[in-house]
Amino acid sequence: MAQRIAFKVEGTVQGVNFRAWSTQKASSLGLTGFVKNSEDRSVVGEAQGDRGALDKFVQHLNMGPEAARVSRVDQKDIDVQNNETEFKQ
């Protein structure tokens, strides 16, 4: 059964390839959703898939790509979106 989370990643996460990196990680886990930069210099998004894949994705978000310095990741469960076919940035 699909589940969906909203996430916010804080730290040095803009200008370090974080969106492309997280898109690749999400796609490799079979997740759909999106990621984007936020005006407060964080990265925000939503991810949808099975709970195991979402948990792995959040683990990846906590690490980030090599140049990133993640200080915090917040997530919350939200309603599933129908008819979504990919993870976009």
> Please, what is the average pLDDT of the chain?
97
In the structure, what pLDDT confidence band is assigned to residue 63 with cuts at 50, 70 and 90? Answer: very high
> Is the pLDDT confidence value at 1 over 90?
no
Query: What residues pair up with 78 in beta bridges, in sequence order?
Result: 4
Q: Which helix (H) or strand (E) holds 32?
A: strand 32-37
- Determine the angle formed by the axes of helices 51-63 and 18-28, rounding to 10 degrees: 150
Which pTM does this prediction carry?
0.95
43 and 22 Cβ atoms separated by less than 8 Å: yes
> Is the pLDDT confidence value at 66 over 90?
yes
- Domains in the chain: ranges and CATH: 3-79 (3.30.70.100)
User: pLDDT tens for residues 35-59?
Assistant: 999 999 999 999 999 999 999 999 9
List the catalytic residues.
19, 37
29 and 53 Cβ atoms separated by less than 8 Å: yes
> Is the pLDDT confidence value at 72 over 90?
yes
Specify the 3-state DSSP secondary structure of 56.
helix
